[in-house]
Amino acid sequence: MTYDYDLFVIGAGSGGLASSKRAASYGAKVAIAEYDLVGGTCVIRGCVPKKLMVYASHFPSLFESAAGYGWHVGNTELDWEKFITSIDKEVRKLSALHINFLERAGVELIPSRASLVDEHTVEVDGRKVTADKILIAVGGKPIKPDIPGMEYGITSNEIFHLKEKPFHIAIIGAGYIGSEFACIMQGLGCQVTQIIRGDTILRGFDQDIRTGIQEGMINHGVRIIKNTVVTSVEKTSQGLELKLSGEYQQPVSADVFLVATGRIPNVEGLGLDKVGIDLVSNSMDGPGYGTMDAIAVNDYSQTSVPNIFAVGDVTERINLTPVAIGEGRAFADHEFGNIKRIFSHENVATAIFTQPEAATVGLSEAEAKDKFGDDKIKIYRTRFRPMFYTLPQQEERTMMKLVVDAQTDKVLGAHMVGDYAAEIIQGVAIAVKMGATKKDFDATVGIHPSAAEEFVTMR
């Protein structure tokens, strides 16, 4: 049978862009549909604009540090309108670049929403087109708990477009988004209250990372209310009032309320039921929370319908941009490049751009002990104040940690809290991925004086 396209991709985010260009490089006729700006969450309302905000939020601390080195720093002020406008311009420039990359790769861009009609047919831009293979790469979207007054809250989609800098921002959520934006907004000069359901932020990360970040955030002025949930939100003449229950029950007033309670796969409206694509459900525990459905896939990103595939956050495997890109390229290599391979989800490094910053690769201490046994794991850990902060006399701390298999000496995990953690762990991740041992780390000569040398001098 003859089809209009060899591959039709739904969603021009990181995974969709990577897979479509890679497939086209093998000679496939490819089209990609996107109803929003090209680039997906990462470019439009995620990694890129967030990291620009992270950079901006560091300047007050740097001004303070400069004084300790003898610099005279005068009055400083953030031009919020210029700041937000500059970020938006950069995002739109990058989106345009991605469109250009598609054109150069020979991929047809259809600026419209697409949905499945049957296993080989997609409805897009008011017409039906056919494809030998279909890839779903629509990512995820923010979710709000079903609590009265949630309509007054913004999500990570809207926070990049605030017209004015908030005086006081209240945040619910203890994950990446809530914790990162708590630090960003505090650094930009806002009063910040973060409300979390548990005792510690960033569930799932190594405990030393969780406590290291949380202690640092509190030291920087972020108010964290623990073991507490928001039961309702009311609009008042003074702004928004959050009613609470749990360990802390006094209402919190703020002029902006960020809901950062997670993201769910963006499966709605795709027509998955029409073709019988299987979904997997995960529960989101807590008052007002429900379940989320992700597209079930095998190791080759293949759904229950053999010619339909899915990559990225819509599959709820590891929700990171480089993972979506890796999954997309592996799919294209396997299906169009005659290269039989799968994308490995083991030892994927990641960073949390809080203040302090953190990064990690491999197993946490708890995961390693659960897998191998407490007596089979050795922990190497160091905590210190980096040299940069000695003259300003700022109480910043760095933590580095190696999780090692006591029997094989293999490094199972590496974790860091502190300046440039992402840059440092990226290099360490290569060693962990290659199966380096603690002896390999010990045999490596450190660069002195640097923080990174601690990874090869821990005893």
Q: Do 206 and 415 touch, CB atoms closer than 8 A?
A: yes
Mean pLDDT of all residues belonging to the chain? 96
Q: Are 95 and 45 in contact (CB under 8 A)?
A: no
Beta strands 358-362 and 223-225: pairing type? unpaired
What's the per-residue H, E or C state across the chain?
CCCCEEEEEECCCHHHHHHHHHHHHCCCCEEEECCCCCCHHHHHHCHHHHHHHHHHHHHHHHHHHHHHCCCCCCCCCCCHHHHHHHHHHHHHHHHHHHHHHHHHHCCEEECCCEEEEECCEEEECCEEEEEEEEEECCCEEECCCCCCCHHHCECCCCHHHCCCCCCEEEEECCCHHHHHHHHHHHHCCCEEEEECCCCCCCCCCCHHHHHHHHHHHHHCCCEEECCEEEEEEEEECCEEEEEEEECCCCCEEECEEEECCCEEECCCCCCHHHHCCCEEEEECCCCCCCEEEEECCCCCCECCCCCEEECHHHHCCCCCHHHHHHHHHHHHHHHHCCCCCCCCCCCCCEEECCCCCEEEEECCHHHHHHHHCHHHEEEEEEEECCHHHCCCCCCCCEEEEEEEECCCCEEEEEEEECCCHHHHHHHHHHHHHHCCEHHHHHCCCCCCCCCHHHHHCCC
| Cβ-Cβ contacts under 8 Å for 202 (sequence gap 6 or more) | 174, 175, 176, 179, 209, 210, 213, 214, 352
At residue 143's C-alpha, the angle toward residues 157 and 363, to 5°, is 95
- What is the Cα–Cα distance from 176 to 174, expressed in whole angstroms? 7
CB 358 within 8 A of CB 416: yes
Residue 140 near residue 266, CB atoms below 8 Å: yes
Query: Which pLDDT score, from 0 to 100, does residue 138 have?
Result: 98
Q: What is the pTM (predicted TM-score) of this model?
A: 0.96
pLDDT less than 70: residues of the chain: 283-291
Check for a shared fold between 5-57+77-142+264-336 and 150-261.
yes
Catalytically active residues are 448
The answer to whether the CB of 419 falls within 8 A of the CB of 357 is: yes
Diameter over CA atoms, the chain: 75
**Integer Cα distance of 114 and 396 in angstroms:** 49
> For residues 151 and 323, what is the distance between their CA atoms, to the nearest angstrom?
32
> What pLDDT shows up at residue 292?
77
- Domain spanning 356-456: which CATH class is it, in words? alpha beta
pLDDT of amino acid 282: 75
Give the C-alpha separation, 145 to 227, whole Å: 17
CATH code matching the domain that covers 150-261, chosen among 3.40.50.20, 1.10.1040.10, 3.30.470.20, 3.50.50.60 = 3.50.50.60
Reference 23, options 340, 341, 336; nearest CA is 336
Please give the pLDDT value at position 291. 67
Domain boundaries, the chain: 5-57+77-142+264-336, 150-261, 356-456
Q: For the segment 279-316, what is each residue's pLDDT rounded down to a tens digit?
A: 998 766 666 666 679 999 999 999 999 999 999 999 99
Of all residues in the chain, the percent with pLDDT exceeding 70 is: 98
Distances from the Cα of 439 to the Cαs of 6, 98, 412, 431, in angstroms?
A: 50, 44, 13, 12
CATH, domain 5-57+77-142+264-336, list 1.10.3720.10, 3.40.1410.10, 3.50.50.60, 1.10.238.10: 3.50.50.60
